[in-house]
Amino acid sequence: MESKKIKIGLIGLGTVGSGVYKTLQTFDDIDVVKIAVKNKNKKRDILNLNENLITDNPYEIINNPEIDVVCELIGGMEPAFDLIMKAIANGKHIVTANKELLAKKGLEIFSFAEKHNKVVLYEAAIAGGIPIIMPIKTILAGNKINKIEAILNGTTNYILTKMDVQNAPYDDVLMEAQDLGYAEADPTGDVEGFDAAYKITTLATLAFKKRIEFENVYREGITKIRTEDMKAVNDLGYKIKLVASAKMDENGFADVRVHPMLVSKNSTLAHIDFVNNAVTLTGHPIGHITLSGLGAGEFPTASSVVGDILTIAAEFGTTDYLLPMMRCHHEELAKCLNILDTENKYYISLNAKNNKGVIGNIGNICADCDISVESIVQKNVSDNNTADITVITEICKEKNMRNAVKAFQESDFINNVNSLIRVQV
């Protein structure tokens, strides 16, 4: 029996949308019947693009009874949210790459889709071309995942890699990344950690089977990372990466966050460079597993979008309840730890007066704040008789570390707290 040709509507024909359209041309059982764009007159580098498919009114897709699947590839909150909800109400399945929308409105979208017996697939929303959602939902379904550590933003990983290998300052590397198209003209979403925070919100929700609320995810970007830090941590056996992490503790509290982190050169994440992404999952019985590859770009992301479309197409018309394993039922809210209640190791860079007793005073402040010191290294005594001092702590409470930083800032013998970065444990 000949299978039904599935009809697709694309909303968005930018970098990802173009890659999806080009890739879908190689599949005979997929028919793109309409493409919504913001500007119909824009020149597009797509061979043999049928201009009759193009509209600047996305509701021509949403309200078209022939279309089976809507692919939302425009990003952002609105009009994406309204378009997806109306498409579901009109009986359409959804494929999206919209990490912000899923992080902020996931519960509402998935509940609405279930009510209307539709599926929402979103492989491309987490790690570009790296398959992670379907593996967790299917082949890893028998595991209890309790920890995630991931590099989920190619822009920041590129910047940190270039700062490391070229000993170049942040501002110079950011400008280069913008020139190459890796960073937006306004890079805030990437460099301040929003993009990675959206992704880890949804990924942790999926892995822990409890909904993580985005406002409970701690976020810190890379704009304060210095080339001096890069050199210092290399000497100590580390690399600096922007890590998205999530951990479920023995008391059932989720610790979900995004921030720069010193990762050991012996760890897998230390060797994920430039625009590559990686996700390391820890659980039972699998132990540790890492998936890595290109986390963004036209064809890597299109790979995930098209994979979702084909997953729907394979079951379309064969059952009244498509893809039960891929549906989301994570309505129980996770209890989340406040960052102040977390425990971490820390790297601290201080500039201090090169006087007798300074190292001892640093140790005393740490002791007064219930912090044990793993190592203290003094380097670079300058002409004005100041020294750079690097401290690595043992595991301690975040609230104690912040008290120590305040004490350092108020101390007569400390000129400046240059950097405070958490250390992978």
Compute and round to an integer the Cα radius of gyration of the chain.
24
Task: Give me the helices (H) in 68-153, please.
Answer: 80-89, 99-115, 124-127, 133-137
Residues 291, 279 contacting (CB under 8 angstroms): yes
From the candidates 104, 147, 199, 210, give the one annotated as an active-site residue. 199
Length of the chain measured in residues? 425
Residues 374, 394 contacting (CB under 8 angstroms): yes
Residue type, 328: C
Residue 199 annotated to the active site: yes
SS (H, E, C) 112-130: HHHHCCCCEECCHHHHCCC
Cα 114–chain centre separation:
26
CA distance 124 to 132: 9
Going by C-alpha positions, the residue among 104, 148, 143, 134 that lies closest to residue 328 is: 134
Does residue 257 sit in helix, strand or coil? strand
Task: Give me the helices (H) in 318-391, please.
Answer: 358-368
Going by C-alpha positions, the residue among 366, 373, 424 that lies closest to residue 394 is: 373
What φ, ψ does residue 127 adopt, rounded to 5°?
A: -140, 40
Residue 418 burial by CB count (10 A; 0-12/13-18/19+): exposed, middle or buried? middle
- Tell me the two tokens of residue 272: 């994920």
CA dihedral of 62, 303, 122, 216, whole degrees rounded to 10: -130
β partners of residue 71:
10, 95
Going by C-alpha positions, the residue among 145, 129, 174, 173 that lies closest to residue 15 is: 129
Which residues are annotated as catalytic?
A: 199
